Amino acid sequence: MLGFSCAHSCETQLLLFYACFYIVLAALFAICMQGLLVTLNHQYPKWQLDESRIGTNPGVSFRPRPDEAEGLPMITYVAANKTSVNEWVTLMDDYLAPYADHTLLPGGGKNQQICDFNTPPAGGKVCAFDVKNLGPCSVSGGYGYNKSAPCFFIKINRIYGWVPEYYDDIEDLPADMPDDLQNHIKELPAVERRQVWVTCKQLTNSEENLIGPISYHPSQGLPSYYYPYMNVDGYLSPLVAVHLARPQTKTSIDIECRAWAKNIIFRGGSRDRQGSLHLTLRID
């Protein structure tokens, strides 16, 4: 009986020890977490630009892109199949929903204003992006998917406080910039040259022009008045809609799209790609 009492007492003491130990451990963890949260700012990151893991070279991405996409990004569909077409149209609709309906934005989009190169956003405001000005890439036209003339949207990833260095000097354009873009820049007024330019080209090794004519809407660049990104409510990334008017069907077409700014580092290839993206288009 005495042995049982001692064993029971030791077991109770052991349970009390571990209970106190874990309570103290949980309390210390809570104190550390509280201290960490105090140092965080929800408006801006503590580490920015060169000091952050993101760095100062924004990535380039595109929409529509299925959530389950793995490996090389690919747009593939059957133009005569309404269900196949609607899958991509729905992805586009969902992505553009906050652009078209400002009530879906934080604060109902009240921070947005109409901007241009002479009217940058006022303090605490952001520039609206008009999706009604996308030509053949408009919502009403189904983004061209049912006509075998699809559109996709190019954007650059957000980096807090990053400001592009523009190719706005027509005497200092890079030698590898396509001639048609150089000519386009030279035709613009000086203030409108302040854009992050976008170009797309066929990568598929073929003597035939598989990609066909390319046009960009509402312009071929991302205007300066959308930068820098400062995490203000209602901000939407500017887009360039890329329209492929007559791409070859029943064949896979590799496409490279690149963003042009002096402080966007470009590196092509299948590994460690920077300042650009690679996608494959196939229309059956």
89: left (phi over 0), alpha (psi -120 to 50) or beta: alpha
pLDDT tens digit string along 203-215?
988 888 999 999 9
Phi–psi pair at 25, nearest 5 degrees: -60, -45
Phi–psi pair at 261, nearest 5 degrees: -155, 155
pLDDT for the residue 16: 78
Cα of 185 vs its chain's centroid, Å? 24
Three-class secondary structure of residue 195 per DSSP: strand
CATH architecture of 58-283: Sandwich (2.60)
Element (H, E) at 196: strand 195-202
CB atoms within 10 A of CB 253: 21
pLDDT for the residue 18: 73
* DSSP state letters, 47-84: S-GGGSSS-S---EEEE---TT--SS-EEEE-TT-HHH
pLDDT for the residue 57: 87
Query: How open is the CA angle 95-99-101, to the nearest 5 degrees?
Result: 105
Q: How far apart are CA 185 and CA 183, in angstroms?
A: 5
What residues does each domain of the chain span?
1-36, 58-283
pLDDT for the residue 268: 82
pLDDT for the residue 68: 56
Q: Which residues of the chain have pLDDT under 50?
A: 1-4
pLDDT for the residue 2: 43
**210: which DSSP letter?**
-
Q: How far apart are CA 252 and CA 8, in angstroms?
A: 75
